[in-house]
Amino acid sequence: MKSKPWSGRFTEDTNQFVEEFTASIPFDKRLYRQDIIGSIAHAIMLGDRGIITKGEAKKIIKGLQEILNDIESDNFEFLPELEDIHMNIEKRLIERIGDAGRKLHTARSRNDQVALDIRLYLREEIQGIYDYIERLQASLVSLAKKNIDVIMPGYTHLQRAQPVLFSHHMLAYYEMLERDKGRLEDCLKRLNILPLGAGALAGTTFPIDREMVAKELGFEGVTRNSIDSVSDRDFSLEFLGAASIIMMHLSRFSEELILWSSSEFDFIELPDAFCTGSSIMPQKKNPDVPELVRGKTGRVYGDLISLLTTMKGLPLAYNKDMQEDKEPVFDAVDTVKDCLRAFSEMLPGIKVNKEKMLRAAGGGFSTATDMADYLVRKGIPFRDAHEIVGKSVRYCIEKNKELYDLTLKEFQKFSKVFEKDIFEYITVEKSVNSRDITGGTALKQVKKRIKEIEAGK
Number of neighbours of residue 433 by Cβ within 10 angstroms = 19
| 378 in the same domain as 354 | no
The shares of helix, strand and coil residues in the chain, as percent rounded to the nearest 5, are 65, 5, 30
Residue 426 lies in a domain: yes
Average pLDDT, the chain: 94
Identify the helix (H) or strand (E) that includes residue 204.
none
Residue 5 lies in a domain: no
Residue 2 lies in a domain: no
| 295 in the same domain as 414 | no
| 252 in the same domain as 378 | no
Separation CA 254–CA 277 (nearest Å): 18
Which domain-ending residue is among 358, 376, 398?
358
Separation CA 353–CA 188 (nearest Å): 41
pLDDT score of 322: 93
Separation CA 162–CA 169 (nearest Å): 12
| 297 in the same domain as 153 | yes
Separation CA 195–CA 193 (nearest Å): 7
Number of neighbours of residue 105 by Cβ within 10 angstroms = 18
Number of structural domains (the chain) is 3
pLDDT score of 1: 43
Tens place of pLDDT for every residue, the chain, 457 residues? Answer: 456 665 556 656 666 766 666 678 888 899 999 999 999 999 999 999 999 999 999 999 999 999 999 999 999 999 988 989 999 999 999 999 999 999 999 999 999 999 999 999 999 999 999 999 999 999 999 999 999 999 999 999 999 999 999 999 999 999 999 999 999 999 999 999 999 999 999 999 999 999 999 999 999 999 999 999 999 999 999 999 999 999 999 999 999 999 999 999 999 999 999 998 888 888 889 999 999 999 999 999 999 999 999 999 999 999 999 999 999 999 999 999 999 999 999 999 999 999 999 999 998 899 999 999 999 999 999 999 999 999 999 999 999 999 999 999 999 999 999 999 999 989 999 999 999 999 999 999 999 999 999 998 7
Q: Which of 7, 142, 262, 278 is catalytic?
A: 278
The long-range contacts involving 48-57, CB below 8 angstroms and separated by at least 24 positions, are 48/209, 48/212, 49/206, 49/207, 49/208, 49/209, 51/106, 51/107, 51/206, 51/207, 51/208, 52/100, 52/103, 52/106, 56/100, 56/103
| 141 in the same domain as 54 | no
- Residue type at 432 in one-letter notation: V
Contacts for 302 with CB less than 8 Å, ≥ 6 apart: 328
Number of neighbours of residue 299 by Cβ within 10 angstroms = 14
| 289 in the same domain as 143 | yes
| 205 in the same domain as 96 | no
Catalytic-residue membership of 42: no
| 98 in the same domain as 34 | yes
Dihedral (C-alpha) 448, 450, 451, 452: value to the nearest 10 degrees?
A: 90
| Residue-number span of the structural domain to which 396 is assigned | 361-454
pLDDT score of 83: 87
Separation CA 457–CA 450 (nearest Å): 10
Which domain-ending residue is among 61, 87, 106?
106
Compute the half-sphere exposure of residue 246: CA atoms within 13 Å on the CB side of its CA: 35
- Say how many residues make up the chain: 457
Stated pTM of the model: 0.92
Q: Which of 3, 73, 157, 279 is catalytic?
A: 157
SS in 3 state form for 407-423?
A: CHHHHHHHCCCCCCCHH
Number of neighbours of residue 171 by Cβ within 10 angstroms = 23
Q: Where are the alpha helices (DSSP H) in 232-367?
A: 234-260, 288-311, 326-346, 354-362
Dump pLDDT digits (tens) for 379-420: 999 999 999 999 999 999 999 999 999 999 999 999 999 999
Q: What is the CATH number of the domain that holds 60?
A: 1.10.275.10
Q: What is the CATH number of the domain that holds 248?
A: 1.20.200.10
Separation CA 258–CA 78 (nearest Å): 44
| 312 in the same domain as 261 | yes
Asked whether the beta carbons of 366 and 162 are under 8 A apart, the reply is yes
| 169 in the same domain as 249 | yes
- Residue 351 phi, psi dihedral angles, 5° rounding: -105, 130
Catalytic-residue membership of 157: yes
Asked whether the beta carbons of 343 and 250 are under 8 A apart, the reply is yes
Residue 9 lies in a domain: no
| 409 in the same domain as 431 | yes
Residue 31 lies in a domain: yes
Share of the chain above pLDDT 70, in %: 95
Residue 4 lies in a domain: no
pLDDT score of 8: 57
| 36 in the same domain as 179 | no
